[in-house]
Chains A and B, each alone.
Chain A
């Protein structure tokens, strides 16, 4: 601008101003267009993304774990229940100084170091925003102690939780089993959806085999949360469906009698309902208290159980493998009759030993000096070994083994418990493939008296007895009678019933002989016949734990208790209308007749002549 125009020039000023307004307005339009582009980017292009983020922001899914099904015995007594307890739980996400918090809590509530370790392990498995228990079964005093300082512990709270409880403790531990925390291995294979909010799982027994039915169905809540993750309101709820209640065939009273009957002996007692196969008693001694497992057993306690020489964690009724001894004799005898090898009247002289042709070795009878002239009835009643050496040899191992397999020897019984073992009923093929040796005739002899390779479980013995009492009708032992779902009751699936084709007369013969074991003059379990108003058919057994050398004398008193023979007994009653089959194994009991038979007698008597029932308060 020239100097002379430096005086105000309104028109020029106006023109400049107008152009500047236009420029400013264009700039404004441009910038607003920029805002709009950005808005379109956020609200149209990115809408879905941000809508998801917004929903994630506010909606949290919170699982509602189902209540685990209750386990009852056949008369409705609770064997596994859910008891409300207080538990101190932490939400790691909400705790800034975890170590400090734990140290303070430990100081306050005297928490053992082990619980802290357990918590740390558990915490790694859980999601940071879910609760992880630190201490369970809080006493009222502990709850009160924590309540006072609660405001200083964000993310820590006391929750009322249902905890599994086994009121009968060790008595039913091997049947009912127990639940425990889901471990890392289980976590890998579990269907996560079904276990939302649940941190326990059946580890053993019925709790494990019926896990699917007991668990129930998890529900969930959709919770609207605010920025502090506090629940504001519940958007939707899907209620959990409680697990099914299960009624067992087990009678806890009879279970107690069976458990107590074993007395100081380790061993097992199994009682089966002959008609149905329902297991009435299933005792394995020693038992253990399953309750500590529920909330996490301490290492010390667990080691003590695991390393105990009595092996309390070992389910002897289900998994204990014993030589059946003389308890196989009725079945071997029946095989002889069925295969037409001998008849019931066949007689044989027992000199106290048996020799194979051209072999020097003497197979001894348990009775030094022998039983003299015996027929099949005498052989069973007095348990003559020589008679059965001869019979077994006549049958041959393959026919004998085949027949025994049909009664369930060497076969899993199919009981609804996990971990069953099949035992062993040897054949020539088995020996060739497993031992890489030929079968010796001598091995046939000792198989005939239930020694040698033969191994059975108490459950198998009870089942075989029941099949015999049933004249060949094969039953599947089972523990669950009814599964009560919230809507309807279902009986458990059983294997289809089969029948071994047996001649009734032969079975009658065997049962006659077995009845004489108890009621006959020279029966090995004669003392059992006292004071009963029904008849019992049974067979004693004594299983060698170690082999007595030739020329050596087995002296019961002189040898170590751990080397003493196992006492066995199988029985069913009443003879003419069989209701209950029992098998007893008393480890190192010595004699089947004096030790094991009375135990069976107690169980049978309690079942057939129930005491006037004391009122139960459940």
Chain B
């Protein structure tokens, strides 16, 4: 079956196909992404109060992100593999730098100001961490032996803890999950996973102790949002009102009263899904989820099609992490997960996350378009 497919691709090198192959762009993935990005403009126009300047800034960031994607798609995955360790080390160093600067400025510090532009090293870590773990595991035989799992785990914990200390719980969890996804795809034993899950559950009270006040509040609020309707529960209550009032068909584009009248906070960024649900209703939500599923499916297809362990693990992790993004954001907005600051991938306004995501898709395209075309 697989051989047949490959032969088929090999046998029909149309002119367009050839061109795209040269551009290293995967058409199904590219089209799905463009569709989501287009949708993002539509909804941002409404959520941002029809602010054209906001759209222009969003457009420039989207443009940059797509450019980054295309550039990375041209890089041979071998190079990613070769640079994994260096990239990861750089990220850890930058995170340390941020931590030190945070110590100096006595407060939450996520940004690194390089004079010309500021960026969050934690964003790059979202890619660097799975790259590192994939590299490390692919150096050994799979499924990973316990000592390798332990080693990978420790490697992963360094950036995760650094980011959690910033404090940016959302990102640190995403980084952790991206690394864990690599271990999962590498064939980590089910028993091991159950064990870890049990340990985590048992250590919840200890973790609680390490959470900051506002993080605890978020969790408490998630459990009972009505307890403090004007305070921390406000986001969730207003967001549920927005989504629920949208109904099956929605209030129509630009018809969102919850965000237009400022009842819904963060309506252009973390809570944009609520605006979308209010305006486009259940049908709109199903459509958007379908688009996301399309992207995820294609990414998994690419992972399955990839030809070496490193690529497979990295592609699988990137695909899964993308889903985690979607799930954590929507889950938070519809009130089934605590509020953590995770944007809705490709739709929320906000530059760095868009670039990181597109960089990941660039790597996926690179993996897919740099395959050797002969069956092994």
Contact = CB atoms under 8 A, between A and B. Distances in A.
Q: Contact residue range for chain B?
A: 35 or more
Contacts of A51: 244-245, 247
A9 B141 CA distance: 7
Given A42-B243, A49-B244, A51-B244, A21 B185 contact: yes
A18 B304 contact: yes
B285 interface: yes
Contact of B142 (A13, A38, A39): A13
Nearest to B292: A32
A21 B244 contact: no
A238 interface: no
Interface string A1-15: 100011111101110
Nearest to A54: B245
B257 interface: yes
Interface in B143-170: 143
A50 interface: yes
B263 A57 contact: yes
Interface in A16-63: 16-18, 20-21, 24-25, 28, 31-32, 34-36, 38-40, 42-44, 46-47, 49-51, 53-55, 57-58
Contacts of B185: 17, 20-21, 24
Interface stretch (A221-229, A243-251, A421-429): A221-229
B274 to A, nearest CB: 10
A1 B143 contact: yes
A108 interface: no
B262 interface: yes
Interface in A559-573: none
Given A34-B336, A35-B289, A51-B244, A43 B187 contact: no
B240 A50 contact: yes
A198 to B, nearest CB: 29
Contacts of B297: 25
Contact of B187 (A7, A16, A40, A58): A16
Interface stretch (B56-64, B323-331, B346-354): B323-331
SS class of chain A's interface: helix, strand, loop or mixed?
helix
B289 A32 contact: yes
Contacts of B246: 43, 47
B316 A20 contact: yes
Interface in B298-341: 300, 303-304, 309, 312-313, 316, 320, 323, 327, 330-331, 334-336
Given A54-B257, A54-B258, A57-B263, A38 B336 contact: yes
A263 to B, nearest CB: 67
A7 B142 CA distance: 9
A327 B309 CA distance: 125
A36 to B, nearest CB: 7
B282 interface: yes
A232 interface: yes
Contacts of B323: 28, 31
Given A39-B282, A43-B281, A57-B258, A20 B184 contact: yes
B303 A21 contact: yes
B247 A58 contact: no
Contacts of A42: 240, 243-244, 277, 334
B2 to A, nearest CB: 10
Interface in A405-462: none
Nearest to A52: B245
A228 B282 CA distance: 29
Nearest to B243: A42
Contacts of A6: 141
B106 interface: no
A101 to B, nearest CB: 20
Contacts of A9: 141
A24 B241 contact: no
A39 B187 contact: no
Contacts of B242: 50, 54
A304 to B, nearest CB: 48
B309 A13 contact: yes
B240 A35 contact: no
Nearest to B250: A43
A226 B262 contact: yes
A24 to B, nearest CB: 6
A16 B277 CA distance: 38
B86 interface: no
Contacts of A13: 142, 187, 309, 312
Contacts of B309: 8, 10, 13
B241 A54 contact: yes
A234 to B, nearest CB: 14
B293 interface: yes
B5 interface: no
Contacts of B334: 35, 38-39, 42
Contacts of B313: 17
Contacts of A31: 323, 327
A13 B186 CA distance: 8
Nearest to A9: B141
Contacts of A1: 141, 143
B203 to A, nearest CB: 23
A226 B304 contact: no
Interface in A55-84: 55, 57-58
B261 interface: yes
Interface in B212-266: 238, 240-248, 257-258, 261-263
A46 B246 CA distance: 10
A49 B243 CA distance: 11
Contacts of A225: 261
B296 interface: yes
A6 B145 CA distance: 10
A216 B190 CA distance: 78
Contacts of B376: 10
A5 B143 CA distance: 11
Given A5-B141, A24-B300, 4 more contacts: A38-B336, A42-B244, A53-B244, A227-B261
Interface of A: 1, 5-10, 12-14, 16-18, 20-21, 24-25, 28, 31-32, 34-36, 38-40, 42-44, 46-47, 49-51, 53-55, 57-58, 224-228, 232
22 contacts: A8-B142, A17-B185, A17-B187, A17-B304, A21-B300, A24-B300, A24-B316, A25-B297, A35-B336, A36-B285, A38-B336, A39-B286, A40-B282, A42-B244, A50-B245, A51-B244, A51-B245, A54-B258, A55-B245, A58-B257, A58-B263, A228-B262
Sorted nearest first, the 3 A-B pairs with minimum C-beta distance are A50-B244, A54-B245, A16-B187
